[in-house]
Amino acid sequence: MKTGMFTCGHQRLPVEEAFRDAHELGYDGIELWGGRPHAFAPDLKAGGIRKIKELARTYQLPIIGYTPETNGYPWNMMLGDERMRRESLEMIKLAMDMAKEMNAGFTLISAAHAGYLTTPDVIWQRLADNLHELCEYAQEIEMDLVLEPLTPYESNVVCNANDVLRALSLVPSPRLYSMIDICAPWVQGEPVMSYFTKLGDKLRHLHIVDSDGASDSHYIPGEGKMPLRELMQDVIASGYDGYCTIELVTMYMNEPRLFARQALERFRALLPEARP
């Protein structure tokens, strides 16, 4: 099972610290967080991408995916007026350009909260318009786009497997995929493996965390309530052979290296081949 480190947890340290730690601790790849100060797309365009490509070469770590920050600060393609929507879409396109240049496997986006007063017909039309434009650009530059469902604590747009199916049906693009952050189905009482059944080959990526079942908090494996050992047995049995990013975000920023080591060791202990 190939593992990725999400660099968001290192955001208070230089980005090289994330690459160095991922290399030394034994992660197989990097999922690059697209926020400042690390890899904000406009900063990459201004020349910062050279450093990212150099770090990937130096530490021999593939950039498995590029995840620009699209959940509302300040970019959210689902909320605000037309000028705000256009700015968000242009930023995502720039992120796709940067992902292409750094040879990232995909660009990962999400449909963040569309606002409490926005009606479903407006939400889904806006999502369809956004995805059509982004997928046309993805096909033009040959970049895969991965749509991440969020928890209901984070969004009111794409939150479960059926929402993903609806989004994919709106834009039947060969460049559009989805993934699972396993916290999202767990907090909604939705079977994680239902994503594998429903999405089939449109399931591109996994975020592995533990969850308390009552919030969007992302915990190190073993700190929450999920039966992760049993889940990973089913994931492996499904034939999934992509990356699993251990997604430590902001809860562990005070000691990202130490917690990244602990998370990886605990994750590997969950895998069937690690059992005595």
CB 214 within 8 A of CB 224: no
Distance, CA of 194 to CA of 184 (rounded, Å): 12
- Distance of CA 197 to CAs 36, 182, 201, 206, 243, Å? 37, 15, 10, 15, 18
User: What secondary structure letter does DSSP report for 50?
Assistant: H
- Among all chains, which residue has been given the structure tokens 């606002």? 115
Nearest to 95 by CA among 122, 81, 117, 77: 77
Structure tokens at 258: 């130490």
Confirm whether 154 is a catalytic residue: no
Query: H helices of the chain, where?
Result: 15-25, 41-43, 49-58, 82-101, 120-141, 161-170, 183-187, 194-199, 228-237, 256-270
Q: Which of 31, 133, 148, 154 is catalytic?
A: 148
User: Would you tell me the crossing angle of helices 49-58 and 82-101 to the nearest 10 degrees?
Assistant: 40
Phi/psi of residue 108, nearest 5 degrees? -105, 125
Structure tokens at 33: 């967080």
Helix (H, G, I), strand (E, B) or coil at 173: coil
Helix (H, G, I), strand (E, B) or coil at 268: helix
Q: Which of 247, 255, 265, 273 is catalytic?
A: 247
Confirm whether 69 is a catalytic residue: no
Structure tokens at 71: 């959940």
Residues with a catalytic annotation lie at 148, 247
